[in-house]
Each structure stands twice: as structure tokens, then as C-alpha cells.
Amino acid sequence: MRLWHYVSQAFLAAPTNHTSPQATPSDSLVADTMGSNFNGTMYFGYGSNLWRNQMEQRCPTSEYLGIARLNDYRWIINERGYANVVQINRHHSDTDTAKSYEDEVWGLVYTLQASDEKRLDRNEGVPFAYTKETLECDFWAVKDGAGPANVTKKPKRTDMLVYINRDMVEPSEPKREYIYRMNMGIKDAVKEGVPEKYVDAVMRKFIPKNELVMSEIERAARKQAAEFEDER
């Protein structure tokens, strides 16, 4: 069993409901989706890895499985200028029906072989920019990678690998090239079934639509998509 980097501190008065650092995403659900011979990890991508082309470049053996929702977390651009998920403290009750898109994070789900997981660790800056946790998500699978997912159906609850920074949790501005990559990812995510209302309510607070794509920013974005280099 692989040892994942993990940060145990709580923040924002939120309960520490994340799982053990040595927990692995649901092998049985991966097997159900990919076949009994698959031995990999289910990965929940919520930032620029929504861009299918970027994932194909960074993780060439990865396969798209469907979409997922991480509840009781909030999507932001953090102080580094990149996407992060921040755990929130919601007081649940039997009559609580006020859940909004700001209380959840939507993303795409991919398989990761061990070699691609190592590549992704490098691109995500583990363990400094992000650490790795196993978090339970609502999952809507698609057959043979063909979407869009039908989110009106009841999802399956399963554990997934999530990259998270529990220290940098303040909203900030995105890096210029990241806006381009995020817009490419948003386009793919909506196509695969991520609610456009979620995009408008949450992501568009940080990521403006690309009206005009300036060539130098596009070149920088595509370079970062292939092999990330921290600009700091």
C-alpha cells in the first residue's frame, strides 16, 4: 500500500472527516468500471485537470471514468494562483435543504496507473503545493468514457484521490496562463455533464471567460499543461 503525503491539521473550524493517509480509493468500484484486472487509483480532478487534453499529456495511460461531486468543500483560487478545495463547516440536520453549489466541488474522474500518479505528483508539486488525501465523493460513471454523465441518477459513494492544500485557503487571483487552462477545462467539464450553473455560481467568480486569446498566454498555458513549472 502506498504511503501518501498528508496534512492532518484542521482549519476554518471544520471537523477532520478526511480519511487515513494510507487509505486507498475504492478498488472494487474501479474494477466494476474498468474490469477486474485493473490495479490503479481513482483520481478526482477539479482544477486545470478538467482539461482532458492536459490529462492526456500529463498522464498518458489515464482513462476518463465519469464525473464526481465532493460535498462540504468549496472551490477557490488560492494564494498561489491555482485551484484548491477548502473544507467548510456545515451543521447538517434532517431539515437542512439549503445546500448550494458553493458547498460542493464538481470534477472529472480518471484512472491513474502508478507511473502516471508519480507524474501527476510532480506536476501538482507534492508535498509542497498540494498534499494527497482520500476523500469520499458522489460518483456518476460513464460507459466506455462516453458522456455526458446523467447526474439525475443516484450516484455511488466512493473514495477518491484528491490533491489539496490545507494551508493556503484564502481566495485570490488566478495566474494569467491558468485562466486559459481553466477555460479549456470548464469547456470539457460542462460537455461531460458538470452543471453549468455550478460553473457560473462558483468558478466564474475567479475565472473570467476568454473573450480573446492572446498568443503568448496560450503558448504559456500549453507549456504548463504539458509539464508544470511553478512561476514563483
CATH number for the domain spanning 38: value is 3.10.490.10
Q: Give the residue numbers of the binding site for substrate.
A: 43-48, 178
Is 185 contained in some domain?
Answer: yes
Is 121 part of a structural domain of the chain?
A: yes
Q: Which of 2-16, 126-140, 184-198 bottoms out in mean pLDDT, i.e. has the lowest?
A: 2-16
H-helix or E-strand containing 177? helix 176-192
Report the 10 Å Cβ neighbour count for 218: 15
Task: Give the residue ranges of the annotated binding site.
Answer: 43-48, 178
Residue 232 lies in a domain: no
- Asked if residue 115 belongs to a domain, the reply is yes
Per the domain annotation, does 201 fall within a domain? yes
Catalytic residue among 63, 104, 117, 124: 124
Active-site residue, 173 included = no
Give the domain range for residue 72: 27-226
Reduced to 3 states (helix: H, G, I; strand: E, B; else coil), residue 78 is: coil
The proportion of the chain whose per-residue pLDDT surpasses 90, expressed as a percent, equals: 65
Phi, psi of 196 (to 5 degrees): -65, -30
Give the pTM: 0.78
Q: Work out how many domains the chain is built from and give that number.
A: 1
State pLDDT tens for residues 181-208.
999 999 999 999 999 999 999 999 999 9
Let me know if residue 8 belongs to a domain: no
